[in-house]
Chain A
Amino acid sequence: MQQGLYSPEMEHDNCGIGFVAHLKGEKSHSIIRQGLETLENMTHRGAEGADSKTGDGAGILIQVPRDFYLMQGYAIPHEGQFGTGLVFFPQDKNAAKACEDILMQIIAEEGVDFIGFREVPTDNSILGDISRAAEPVIRQIMLGGKELNQDVLERKLYIIRKRAEKQIASSGIRQKNFFYLPSLSTKVLIYKGMLTSEQLREYFLDLQDKRLESAIALVHSRFSTNTFPSWDLAQPFRMLAHNGEINTVKGNRFWMAARESILKSDNLGDLSKIYPVIEPDKSDSASLDNVLEFLVMSGKSLPYAMSILIPESWNEKNPISRELKAFYQYHSTFMEPWDGPASLLFSDGRYIGGTLDRNGLRPSRYVITRNDIMVMGSEVGVQTFPPEEIREKGRLRPGKLLLVDTKEGTIKYDPELKKELASEYPYIDWIKENMVSLEKIETGQKAPVGLGNAYSNYENTFNYSSEDIEKIILPMATTAKEPTGSMGNDAPPAVLSEKPYRLFNYFKQLFAQVTNPAIDPIREELVMTLTGYLGSTQTNLLETHPDHVKLVKFKTPVVSNTTFELIKRLSYKGFASTTIPMLFKASEGAGGLERAVDGICKAAEKAVDEGKNYIILSDRGISAEQAPIPSLMAVSAVHHHLINTRKRMQIDIVVESAEPREVMHFALLFGYGASIINPYMCFATIEKLVKENKMQMDYDRAEWNFMHAVEKGLLKILSKMGISTLRSYRAAQIFEAIGIDKSIINKYFEGTHSRIGGIGMEELTREILMPHQQAFFPEPLASPLTEGIYHYRKHGELHAWNPESISLLQWATRNKDYSKYKEYSAIVDRDTKLPGFLRGMLEYKKNPIDIEKVEPVENIMKRFVTGAMSYGSISREAHEALAIAMNRIGGRSNTGEGGEDPVRFKPFENGDSARSKIKQVASGRFGVTTEYLVNADEIQIKISQGAKPGEGGQLPGHKVDQIIAKTRYSIPGITLISPPPHHDIYSIEDLAQLIFDLKNVNPDARVSVKLVSETGVGTIAAGVAKASADLITISGAEGGTGASPNSSIKHAGLPLEMGLTETQQILVMNNLRKKVVLQADGQIKNGRDVIMAALMGAEEFGFATAALIVLGCVMMRKCHLNTCPVGVATQDPELRKRFNGSADYVETYFRFIAEEIREHLAELGFEKFEDIVGRADLLTRDEQVSNWKIKNLDLSPLLYMPEEAKTNALRWQQPQEHKIADILDRELISKAAPAIDHGEKVTIQLPIRNTDRTTGAMLSGQIAKKYGAEGLPDGTIKCRFSGSAGQSFGAFLSRGMEFHLEGDTNDYLGKGLSGGRIIVVPPPGSTFESHKNIIIGNTVLYGATRGEAFISGMAGERFAVRNSGATAVVEGVGDHGCEYMTGGRVVVLGEIGRNFAAGMSGGIAYVLNETGNVDYYCNMGMVELSLLEEQSDVRELTELISKHYEHTGSLIAEKILSEMHLYIPKFLKVIPFEYKKVLQEEKLAELNKRISEVEKDVEHISSD
C-alpha cells in the first residue's frame, strides 16, 4: 500500500515484553493473571494512536488449555492429539466463507481431523475507532490428530497454516488481508490484537475466565511508529516475542529466500509446500519468528536455533570456550546474524526462555521466587513479591541464553546450554581440517601494482578527478584514516547535476534513528568484525556436516593485488573460480550495456552449474571499444539473478575493479552482495604517488594504510545502522537510491527504495561513456569532467554557497541594504533552479493579493531558529551573537551540545540576552544539568545531525580550554567523546521515556526531537509524535556545519524535501500532525526556501550555515582544524580577534528574509503564514527547469496530499498530553514545600513501583529554578522509598536531595545527576547476597555531573556511562562500565563486565580485582591500570567504601573495611592517560605556585 511517500515496510516497533512461568509446570489461572498484570505494568512502554484509545497491539501466549474446553463440554482428543488456534477471518461474510473453505480443504488434504469452530467471546465496545475498523471476525479452530505422534501433528498444523496463508494471500478474495492465524499448535495458544495492554484482558473474555489455566504466560505490548490497522502485527508471534529491531532484516530475508533451494528436511517432507519460509510484508520480528519456527519444526532445538540466529560475539574479547567459539564460527559460515537490538522471549509450550543481542541493547530482568515462579520482563517490579520469597534476581546478559524446562522443572543457564550445543559435534576439528585462513596461505610472489602506460586510460575512464586522488586516496594512504571535512554538502545530488557521476553516487546510506541505536565502532569494537568466508560449498544447512566449513576465511574483505592473485589461483580443496569481465561494447550504447549485464548473469549461473566456488567480476581490460560496466550494477544484478534462480548460496562474488575509491563505494559493493574486493586502480594510484614522491613512505606502508582506512570506514558505516558484522551487512542493502528510474531498480537493485525515479539506461550509459570517450579519444582543450565536488571550483560542480552568494549576503546584511539582499536572493534562486535542489524544480501557484494585507515580519520571525552549534565548535563571539539576535527577533537560538555558561541566563543591562532558548540534549550530555534544563524554552533531543547522521563526535583535548570545560562540566585538556547513540535511547519507548524525563524537569519547555531526512523518517516521526514530542525537526542531509568524514557528508541521508514531505504525509494520515510542531532545516537560505518548506509541511525553520555566513564565515571548511581565519569556528584567541560579525547583521538577515516571505505570501495570496503550511497542493513542477538527467524525475510523490488531509489538521493545533499531572513528584513537591520555601529539613517516606517513573526530576527542577546549580544544603530533603522503582529513578537529582531506596530500580538510575545523593539497598529480609544480584538496571548515572550514588548490589550494562563528576560505589557492573567517563569516581566492589572503561578520558575507577581478570575485561585503549601506590589513593578509596557502608550497611563493604590492608593490594586503579597527565600538570602547577610564593616571600624579605 504505497501512498505518496509512505511505505509500510518502513514501520518499526519496540515494546515491553515479559513472561511469567511456573518452573515445575504447575498450571494455574494466576500465571495468566500475573502475565496480564505484567503487561499492564509496562503500559508506558506501549503507545496509543491519535484517538488515545487504539493500542498498537498486545498479546499473550499460553499453553493450550485443553481442560478449559473439556469443562465447556467440547469433545476433544487426548493431550498431544489436539491442536487449536484463533483464526482471524474477514469481516465480509462471503470473504470469510471463502477463506474458511480453503482452510478446510487444506486440513483435509493434510489428513487432520476438523473438530469444529469455537466462537471466541470478545467485547469490542472498548476498542478505539481505528482498531475497530480493522477488527477481524475471530473464531477458534479445533483440530484432532488421530493417534498421530504430537510432533508429527504439530508439524502438520504448521504445514496447514503455511499452506493456508500462502493460498489465501495469492487468492482473489477481498479482505484477504484479514485472514491470519496467530497460532495453530498442540502446545501453545496465542490471544492478540490491536489492543492496549489493559484492553487485552477486557477484549478476550476467555482471559478473565478463572478456568483458563497455563504454566506459562508470555506477553507483549507493542509501540509502533504508526497507527495503521494491523491486528496481525501484534505479538507474541508463533514462538517469540521481540523487543527491539532487526537492522539487517532485508539481507536476512534475501539470504533466507536464497537458501530455500538447498534445504532438505526429512521431518517436514516437501518443503515447497511451506515456502516461502518468511511470510511477505510482515515485520522484522515476524520474519525472525518465521525462521525460528522453521528451524524448530525441522527438528532443531530452540536454544540451537536462537544461538545461530542471534549469536553472541565470539572474538578474542569474549571469554567463552574454544568449543563454543568453534560452534559459532561453524554456523557463521552459513547463517549470517540477525543483527540489531533484541530482547527475545520464546516458548514452545514446554520450554520458555530469553536471550539478548550481542550488545545487550535491550533490558531484560528476572526474578525467581522460592515458590518456583519466574518473572522475566523489560522491567523489574512488574510483579511484586515479599523480599523473603525471592530466591534470585538477575538480568539477561548480552548474547546469553536462559531457558526454563517446565516439564523437568529446571532452569538452564547460558554456560550449560551453550556447552551442550558446542559439544554436540567436533566443530573445532571440522574447522581445523576444512577451513583455511587467507592470511596464512603462503604467497609465492608479489603481484605487480602499476598499470604502466595504461594508467591514464584507467584514470580517465573511471573518472579519477584530482580531488579523488588528492583529497581521498592520498590522505587515506598517508594517515590510514578517512579524510574529514566540515560545513556539510551544498552540491546537488548526482541526478540534478549535468556532470557525469559514477552510479555509486546515486545511493545514500541508511542510518539508525530512534528505533535502534548506532554502535561506536571504535570504543565498542569488541562486537564488530569484518571477517568473512569465501568459497560456498554449502548444501543443506539443516544437516550438520563438516563440509559446510570447506572455506577460505578472511579477516579483511579488501585485498591487495597479491592476495587477489592468490584467490584467483586458489585450488584449495578443489576450489575453482571463473573470471567474468564487466565490460560492454561502447559502440552499442545502452542496449549493449543491458545485454552485457544479462550476459554476466548468465555466465554466473553457468559457473554455479559447473560447480565453481566463486566468480570474479573484473573490469580489467578496458579499451577504446570496451567500456566498463558499473561494478555496483554488475554485482547487484548477479546477486539478484542468482537469488531468483535459487543458485545464490552456491557461489560467492569477488570483485576486481578500478571503480571503487571511497569507503562508500566499498560499502555499496558489499551491501549488494560482494564478498571480496580488489581495488586495483587505487593501488596503482598509490604506487604512482609514491613513485612521484608525493608521499613520504614506501608503497607497502601506503597500501596498508589505504586498506586500513577502508576497513575503519566500513566499520563506521556498518555501525551507523547498528550492524556489527560485515557478514550480516553483506547484501543487506542498507541503502536507498535517489534519482534512478524504477526500470533499473526493479531489474538490478530489487528491494531498494528509489522514490522519485530518475535516470534510465540511456542516461546511465551516457555517464559511463563520457569519461570513457575522453580517455580514449581525448578532446585536447576539454575541461575536466568533474571538479569541485568537495571544494568549490570555478566552472566546477555547483555549490549553493559560492563567492557570489556569500559576498552578496555579507554585503547586504552589513550595510542593511535590502536591494543587495534581493540580489543575493536572486542568485540563490537561480542556483536552486539550476537545479541545485529538488525544490528548484517546483513552482508555487500564484494568486496575488496586496502585500499590505500580509501579516507583519514580527509574526514571521518567531518561526526562525538557528542551528545547534555548540560553544566549542564555534567561538564564544559567534555563539552569543546568534543568541542575542534570535532573542531580539523573537526566534530561538540553540546551545548545541556543549552546555551554556549560567552567566548567559541573565539578560544584559541594555535588554539584550545571550541565553539560548533551545537547550540541546545530545548523546554526550555535555553540560546537561538540572539548572541548564530549567533555563530552556525548548529542550531539543538530537537524534541525528545532517552532516553525519548516525555518528558520534569528538572534541580533542587540546581544544577543551578552561571555559569550554566549565560549560561542559569536564576537565580542561580532556578529550570529550559524544557516543553515536544516546545510551538511554535504543528504541522508541526509550525516547518516550527521555521526553518524559525532560518534561518532568522542566514542564514549561517544549521538548523537541531532531531527525535527519532518510527514507522512513516520516514513520519514525510518527513514532516520535506518539512518544509525546512537542516538536520534530527534520534536517536535510545537505545541511550541517560540524566536522565529519567526507563519506558521511556526501553519502548519508536524503534531501530535506523528501524527508519533510514524507513526514508531513504520514503525520497527517495518522492524524498526529495536529499534536506536533514541524520544523525544517538544511540549506535554507532565503524567502523562497522557507516558502517551499512551508508548503511541504514545515512551520518553523532552522538556519545554521546562512547565519554563520552572515557572521563572517566564508566556507573555509576547516572547522575541524581550529584554524578558522574569520574567528567563527575556532577557539584560538588570536583567530577569535579576527571575528567581525555582529548580532545586528543576523537580525538584519532575518528581517530581510521575513520581508521577502511576505512578498511571497502576497504572491501566493495568503495573509497568514500558517495557512500555507502543508499545502503541497499549491506546488507544481516547473517545466522550465530541465536537463538531460532530470527529465524523468517524478516529484509527484512529494506533492501528494493524503486523503486524510481533507479532515485532519495540516499543522500544529493542540498540545501533547504529557501525563505528568498525577505523578509521584507532585506528592514529593507538596511534602517538600517547607524545604523549597524556607530550606527546612524534611523527610518523606513513600512506597514506589515500576510505574512511578522519573521520580525526583520535577522536584529537582523546582529546586534548580529557585536555587540554581548550588541547590540546597546537603541532606535537606530526604526521601525514603521502598519497592521497585521505575525508570529514571533519581534523574537530575539536585543537590540537597537524598533518595534512599529499599528494593530495586530499572534503567537510567541517576541520569543527569546534578548534586543529589542516591542510595539503593536490598529490602530487609532479602536472603540473597547483594553483590551477586542485580539491583539496578542499565545505563546508570548517564551524563551525571555531580552527586553521589551508593548501590548495594550489582548494576547492569553501562554503569556510569559519560559520568563527568559523580561519585559512585557499586558491588558489580555489567559490560561497558564507566564508558566515555570524563570525570568523577567509581568504586566497584565486585565483578566488572567486558569493555570496562572504553573511551574513558577522565576520572578514576577503583576496581576490586579478586578474580584477577580486570585487565582482560578492561578496554585499555585510553586507560592504564595500576596498584594503589599513593597514600592519597588509599585514603580516597577507604573513605568512599566507608561512606558506602555508612549509607547502605553493605556486608561486603563491611568485610573489606575490616581487612582493608589485605584488600588494598587487590584493588586496581583505572585511570585515563590524559587525566593522569592533567592531574600531574595540576600538581606541578600547584607546586610551582607554592615555589613562586616562597620566592615572593624571599623577595619581600630581601626588600624589607
Chain B
Amino acid sequence: MADPKGFMKVARKNAGNRPIHERTSDYSEVEQTLNSEDRALQASRCMDCGIPFCQWGCPVDNLIPEWNEKLYKGDWKAAIDLLHSTNNFPEFTGRICPAPCEHSCVLNIGEEPVTIRENEVAIVEKAFAEGYIKPSPPKQRSGKTVAVIGSGPAGMAAADLLNKAGHTVTLFEKDEKPGGLLRYGIPDFKLNKYTIDRRIRLMEEEGVVVKCNMQIGRDITVQELISSFDAVCLTIGAMQPRDLPVPGRDLDGVHFAMEFLGQQNRIVSGTEVPYDERIIAKDRHVLVIGGGDTGSDCVGTSIRQKAKSVTQIEILPKPPEKRTSDNPWPYYGKILKTSTSHEEGCERRWNISTVKFNGLQQRVISADIEQVEWELVNGSYAMKPVPGTQETIQADLVLLSMGFVHPVLEGLVTDMGLDLSERKNIRVGKNHQTNVENVFAAGDAITGASLVVNAIASGRRVAKSVHNYLAEK
C-alpha cells in the first residue's frame, strides 16, 4: 500500500491545463504535468482497497493499486512493468481515456478519486525519459505469421502482443501513417502524435513489420492475404459515420467531423493539404452536431482555427451535474462532462434536433433546429418535438459528429464474405474468430465505435485467441 493515510492528508490535485489564451493559439497538448514529488503524493492517496473497484472498472484490468504503490515509492521501473503487463499503450490511455477507473475509485464516493489517469501517463512518460522502455524482441520465434489489418489501438495492441509471443507480425495500414483514429481522429492538443511514432518505432524495433498505404483489396488481394499468413486479424475500426438525412445535408460546409479533424491532424503533422480542399472554421459560425468526445474535439479545433462562434447541440437531454440515485457509484457516472475544449468558449445546447440546413449559393448559412422531449414508452425512451420551439441559428460550417454506425463494409469485409451482426459489425465467436477460419477480428469493428481503452483490451484478447489458435494449429 502506498500510504494508508495518504488520502486523509493529501487532496486530489489535477495537473491542470495551460491557460486558455495560450493554448488556443497552438495545437500542443493542453494538459500539464505535476512534478515527481506531487505525483508521488497523488499516488499516496491510493488506499490499496480490498476490492480495487478501479481495476474492476478498467477495461484493460490495470493493476492500479500495485502501480500506484510503486509510483509512490519512486520505483518507476516496477511501475511501468506492472502497467505494461495489462496495457500496451499507457501513453495513449493516460492522455485520452475518460478513466472509468476514476469513476469506480472508492474515493469517488466522496467525489475526489485518485488521479489514476494522470498517474498512468506520468509513469509511462517518466519511464520513456529514463530509458526504462527499451525494445525487447521475443527470444524465440514461432515461425508463424500474422497479418493485422488496421493500425488503430486495437490493431497495435494485437500486433504488439502477438509479436511478443514470438509470431511474425505484419501490421497493415491504409493511410500514410499508422495509428488510425489515434492519429487522425484525436487532435494533437489532446494526444501528441509523437507518442504514436515513438511507440510504433519501438514495435518495429521489436520486429513488427508496419506497412502503410496498404489497402486490402487494392494493394493486396484478400486471397493473397489469407493464403500468405497463418492468421489474419481485422482491426479496421467502425469508420462509417452516422449521417443526418435532413434537407440541406448536401450543402457545402456540412461535413463529417472526421473529415475536419483528420485534415487538421495532417496539417499539424506537416502534411500538405491543398488549400481548396481545406475545411476552414476561421471566421465562421461553427455548428457542431453531436455532444460526444468527437464533437468536443471539433469544438477545440474550430476555436484554434479562430472560428467566430462555436455552438454544439445534442439531441439527448443535458446530463445531471451529479450522479442520480439510479446511477450510483461504482458505475460509470453519466454526468455532464465539460472538456477543455468546452472551456475554451462554446455554446452547448441539449434536447435539440436539427430540422434542416439552409443554404445560400449551395453553401450552408444556417440551420433550423427545434427542441425535443424524451418520454419513457414501454421501457425505452422515445423522442418527440416540442411544438413551437423551432428556430434558425447561424451556421456556415456544420460538423456532424453523431458517432459511427459500423465498419466500412465495402471492400475488405464484403470481399472476405464475413458474417455480420445485426448492427452490421463483424460477427465473431467468443474466440474472436470470424466465419472465415483463420480470420479474427477485434476492436470497434466487432463492437461498434467505442473507447480507445476498449480497443486495446479487445486487441489484447484477440491476440490471445490468435496465439492459442496458432499454438494448436
Contact = CB atoms under 8 A, between A and B. Distances in A.
Interface of A: 466, 486-487, 693-694, 780-781, 791-795, 799, 801-803, 806-807, 810-811, 814-815, 1112, 1114-1118, 1121, 1123, 1125-1126, 1132, 1134-1135, 1138, 1140
Given A1118-B50, A1125-B7, 8 more contacts: A486-B50, A794-B61, A802-B51, A803-B57, A803-B330, A1123-B4, A1123-B8, A1140-B109
A808 to B, nearest CB: 10
A466 B106 contact: no
A803 B165 contact: no
Q: Closest 6 interchain pairs by CB?
A: A1117-B50, A803-B56, A780-B165, A792-B51, A1115-B50, A1115-B51
B191 to A, nearest CB: 26
Nearest to B167: A780
Contacts of A792: 50-52, 56
Nearest to A803: B56
B78 to A, nearest CB: 8
Interface stretch (B244-252, B321-329, B412-420, B425-433): B321-329
B51 A799 contact: yes
Contacts of A807: 328-331
B53 interface: yes
Nearest to A807: B330
Given A781-B161, A781-B463, A791-B51, A466 B66 contact: yes
Contacts of A811: 328
B166 interface: yes
A780 B164 contact: yes
Contact of B61 (A795, A1121, A1138): A795
B49 A780 contact: no
A1116 B47 contact: yes
B51 A803 contact: yes
B12 to A, nearest CB: 13
A1132 B8 CA distance: 10
Contacts of B464: 781
A32 B47 CA distance: 71
Given A780-B165, A780-B467, A810 B328 contact: yes
B51 A780 contact: no
Contacts of A1132: 8
A1114 B8 contact: no
Contacts of B58: 794
Contact of A815 (B5, B53, B326): B326
A781 B165 contact: yes
Interface in B25-82: 47-53, 55-58, 61, 63, 65-66, 75
Given A781-B464, A1121-B4, A1126-B109, A806 B138 contact: no
A1214 to B, nearest CB: 44
10 contacts: A792-B50, A793-B52, A793-B63, A803-B51, A807-B329, A807-B330, A815-B326, A1114-B109, A1125-B47, A1138-B109
Nearest to B61: A794
Contacts of A810: 328
B8 A1116 contact: no
B325 A801 contact: no
A811 B5 CA distance: 28
A1126 B107 CA distance: 9
A517 B3 CA distance: 38
A486 B325 CA distance: 30
B104 A803 contact: yes
B143 interface: no
B110 interface: yes
A694 B104 contact: no
Interface string B103-123: 010110110000000000000
Contacts of A1121: 4
A1125 B107 contact: yes
Given A781-B467, A1116-B50, A1123 B328 contact: no
A793 B8 contact: no
A466 B69 CA distance: 13
B106 A1125 contact: yes
B49 A1114 contact: yes
A806 B328 CA distance: 12
Given A780-B138, A780-B164, A814-B325, A1123 B52 contact: no
Contacts of B7: 1123, 1125
B425 to A, nearest CB: 25
Interface string B1-27: 000110110000000000000000000
A791 B48 contact: yes
A1341 to B, nearest CB: 38
Given A780-B138, A780-B166, A1123-B47, A1138 B110 contact: yes
Nearest to B73: A694
Contacts of A1125: 7, 47, 106-107, 109-110
Nearest to B7: A1125
Contacts of B47: 1116, 1118, 1123, 1125
Question: Which of A466, A486, A794, A1135 has the most B CB atoms < 10 Å from its CB?
Answer: A794
Contacts of B463: 781
Contacts of B63: 793
A614 B61 CA distance: 50
Interface string B158-193: 000100111000000000000000000000000000
Contacts of B49: 791, 1114-1118
B51 A1114 contact: yes
B352 to A, nearest CB: 31
A1133 to B, nearest CB: 11
Contacts of A801: 51
A662 B259 CA distance: 61
Question: Which of A780, A807, A1116, A1121 has the most B CB atoms < 10 Å from its CB?
Answer: A780
Contact of A487 (B50, B107, B109): B50
B472 to A, nearest CB: 12
Nearest to A1126: B109
Nearest to B66: A466
A456 to B, nearest CB: 13
Contacts of B325: 814-815
Interface string B86-105: 00000000000000000010
Contacts of A1116: 47, 49-51, 106
Contacts of A693: 75
B50 A791 contact: yes
A815 B330 CA distance: 15
A953 B8 CA distance: 26
Interface string B313-347: 00000000000011011110000000000000000
Contacts of B328: 807, 810-811, 814
A1121 B463 CA distance: 42
A1117 B326 CA distance: 27
A802 B57 CA distance: 12
B106 A1114 contact: yes
A138 to B, nearest CB: 63
Nearest to B6: A1123
A693 B70 CA distance: 12
Nearest to B330: A807
A431 B165 CA distance: 63
A805 to B, nearest CB: 10
Contact of B52 (A791, A814, A1118, A1140): A791
Nearest to B3: A1123
Given A694-B75, A807-B330, A794 B55 contact: yes
Contacts of B56: 792, 794, 802-803
Nearest to A815: B325
B202 to A, nearest CB: 18
A487 B75 CA distance: 30
A806 B51 contact: yes
Contacts of A791: 48-52, 65
Nearest to B140: A780
Nearest to A487: B50
A896 B429 CA distance: 53
A792 B51 CA distance: 5
A1132 B50 CA distance: 20
